[in-house]
């Protein structure tokens, strides 16, 4: 129950075995990890600073509420033995859209329609629940290679809800998003669902 005040907190050493790092962003590092309980290989996002300096729980709670075929699913939230927050999520077998775009042509071939329609379905789902992703960009869209071959509607997977906000969030949104993809109103401290659509248009 991600809404409960007494959310169970698992300890990294008790359940997971870290494998290699597979990516990093502004607020965390993602590793491949093995769940010792069932042998499943998952992706684990770990904060670089101890709990208190950062808050990964809000991202976990946001994702736990958003079960959708085009949004990466989360499994578990907890603390490492050194007090660093982490959560685990499904490991998608594919690159980010930023990595998948051909360096010579600047295009992704040949299934761009399935990818972008998948992101639009994810955003429609997010917006219908009163939330805004607030950081749509190529590195936050995963391309599931296995799904692209067999179930293309699931090929695009939206990740990184670390900046997500409620549509009614009274806080200034001027600091949210990535400058190259941000809608003009974001710089004036305003943000709504149309800002996500603008960012996807830039993508």
Please identify every residue annotated as catalytic. Answer: 135
Distances (CA, A) of 141 to 54, 70, 120, 171, 185: 23, 10, 11, 26, 23
CA distance 67 to 6: 22
Q: Are 197 and 123 in contact (CB under 8 A)?
A: yes
Question: What sign does the dihedral 177-179-21-27 (CA atoms) show?
Answer: negative
CA 124, chain centre distance (Å): 16
């Amino acid at each position: 129950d991600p809404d409960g005040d007494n959310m169970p907190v698992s300890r990294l050493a008790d359940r997971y075995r870290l494998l290699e790092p597979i990516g990093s962003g502004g607020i965390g590092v993602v590793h491949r990890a093995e769940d010792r309980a069932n042998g499943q290989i998952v992706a684990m996002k770990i904060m670089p600073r101890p709990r208190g300096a950062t808050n990964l729980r809000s991202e976990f709670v946001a994702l736990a509420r958003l079960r959708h075929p085009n949004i990466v699913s989360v499994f578990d939230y907890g603390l490492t033995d050194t007090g660093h927050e982490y959560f685990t999520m499904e490991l998608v077998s594919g690159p980010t859209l930023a990595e998948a775009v051909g360096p010579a042509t600047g295009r992704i071939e040949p299934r761009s329609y399935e990818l972008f329609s998948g992101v639009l379905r994810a955003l429609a789902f997010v917006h219908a629940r009163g939330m805004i992703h607030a950081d749509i960009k190529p590195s936050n869209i995963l391309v599931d290679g296995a799904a692209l071959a067999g179930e293309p509607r699931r090929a695009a997977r939206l990740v990184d809800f670390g900046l997500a906000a409620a549509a009614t969030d009274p806080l200034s949104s001027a600091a949210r998003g990535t400058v190259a993809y941000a809608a003009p109103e974001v710089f004036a401290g305003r943000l709504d669902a149309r800002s996500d659509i603008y960012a996807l248009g830039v993508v």
